Homo-oligomer: A and B are copies of this chain.
Amino acid sequence: MRIGWIGTGVMGAPMAGHLLAAGHDVRVHTRTRARAEEVLEQGAVWADAPAEVADGADAVVTMLGYPHDVRDTVLGDGGLLAALEPGAVLVDHTTSEPSLAQEIAAAAAERDVHALDAPVSGGDVGARNGKLVIMIGGEQEPFERVRPLLEAYGGNVALMGGPGAGQHTKMVNQIAISSGMVALCEALLYAHRSGLDVQAVLELIGGGAAGSFSLSNYGPRLLRGDLEPGFKIDHFIKDLGIALAEARRMNLFLPGLALAEQLYVSARAQDLGQKGTQALLVALASMSGVKLPDASG
């Protein structure tokens, strides 16, 4: 297939790489050309603008930063939608607003283009291993058409409902992770301050009712002071902001989410925005005057 690709950051580059490895014809654009070098070396062709990526493509895939990037790239002047041919499929992997996904799907339908919102989880490791979870909102027919593409880097690719359902599913995921990380960090702080052997405690309780992916994966990293991102706090704050706005719109009272978002804002205020989400521990510790012996800020 002829594929256009926009966005070659830490996630987008290895994802596009899987498509090239599978033999697809990929034209690529990204804001900073130097970040596209890796995929250009793998055989992608450079395009100077989004509209040029769209020209003649069967599908265009975007993996951007913020909702306003998606809006500009898809709906803006010289954007993708005006340049896509009828029947083409637009796939947005950016974690973005469900309402924007619905707006794009409606605008696309008017031009006989199909839009799928398709945020992912699994981080850079999942992107490299081709094991991402991909949560899709949109129509069945275009989904089936691009499914083989998505399975080049997706371990679990699921259509969750109509336009916006992919973004809503991602919000559910982020809501669960946010309070789950609060749970882990507070448990670690209590264990540390009460003088316990924190590693022994994690090993004992991790196999029982307190067990979680966060505890098993971020607990050991935190114990060795590893704050490097899997997923950056700056990006998580964007996601939690979207979730809070959607919850407010739906009249949903989610106090755990609201608290987690505020704690992450405090972490960012403490210069941890470029660290991984597990660095919440450092911010919470500072609020109790706890010095973490191993944490390399």
Contacts and interface: CB of A to CB of B under 8 A. Distances in A.
A196 B289 contact: no
Copies of this chain held together in the complex: 2
Contact of A172 (B165, B190, B214, B243): B190
A259 B257 contact: no
A133 B208 contact: yes
A241 to B, nearest CB: 14
Interface in A183-212: 183-184, 186-187, 189-191, 193-197, 200-201, 204-205, 207-212
Given A201-B172, A288-B253, A182 B179 contact: yes
Nearest to A195: B161
A160 B200 CA distance: 8
Interface of A: 98, 121-123, 133, 135, 156, 158, 160-161, 165, 168-169, 171-173, 175-180, 182-184, 186-187, 189-191, 193-197, 200-201, 204-205, 207-215, 217, 243, 246-247, 250-257, 259-260, 263, 284, 287-290
26 contacts: A121-B210, A133-B207, A133-B208, A135-B204, A158-B204, A160-B197, A160-B201, A161-B197, A168-B196, A169-B204, A172-B190, A172-B201, A173-B205, A173-B209, A175-B187, A176-B205, A176-B210, A179-B179, A179-B256, A183-B256, A186-B256, A190-B252, A190-B254, A209-B213, A211-B212, A252-B288
B176 A179 contact: no
A112 to B, nearest CB: 26
